[in-house]
A and B are shown apart, each in its own frame.
Chain A
Amino acid sequence: KAGVTQTPRYLIKTRGQQVTLSCSPISGHRSVSWYQQTPGQGLQFLFEYFSETQRNKGNFPGRFSGRQFSNSRSEMNVSTLELGDSALYLCASSLAGQSSGNTIYFGEGSWLTVV
């Protein structure tokens, strides 16, 4: 059974540009969530999608957005990139969502560098 797949694995963008990251969840999983990981802030929750609807959102500015498609695949977008957006962006999937008790499985992440 394939795990959570994220693309691209590495990318470099310039300040002011936008970026789109893609995530394919484990087959059968309907919840996809996104996290940002940086050395200074650790792992921070961005948002969660379930059945194409955003269910939860972390404390990030509106430049960070996402969506989920009918096949549960998800994308996240960051507009007007800033140097501080350089991070590892992790996608995770679970069967029924991130309510307590549902195990969350992570992908390998997308490394974004903003220059």
Chain B
Amino acid sequence: LAKTTQPISMDSYEGQEVNITCSHNNIATNDYITWYQQFPSQGPRFIIQGYKTKVTNEVASLFIPADRKSSTLSLPRVSLSDTAVYYCLVVFGSSASKIIFGSGTRLSIRP
């Protein structure tokens, strides 16, 4: 059964690096992992997407180990405005028959 698992919540402080992990069993060779950020009353906003090893953009990095059973979203030097819920998304299978969102991680950043 395809499933993604994330921690329910995390706390950190401004200026720190935050790492949020998503576990995804039964992931296939060609399945991508995507991370979204969601603020209250808004739709999820795309952060980063990856397939293997490491991907970096202007706001985050995504680390995917060789076994691909998990992935880690890394947010460098967080600020108060990074307080949000973060979701991982895995589309299991090329036919998109299994579109599974994680339950979300509520990240709280303190001054």
Contact = CB atoms under 8 A, between A and B. Distances in A.
B43 to A, nearest CB: 4
A90 B44 contact: yes
Contacts of A55: 96
Nearest to B99: A45
Interface residues of B, number: 26
A25 interface: no
B104 A100 contact: no
A94 to B, nearest CB: 10
B19 interface: no
B109 to A, nearest CB: 22
B97 interface: yes
A98 B49 CA distance: 13
Given A90-B43, A106-B45, A100 B96 contact: yes
Contacts of B56: none
Contacts of A98: 91, 96, 99
B81 interface: no
B22 to A, nearest CB: 13
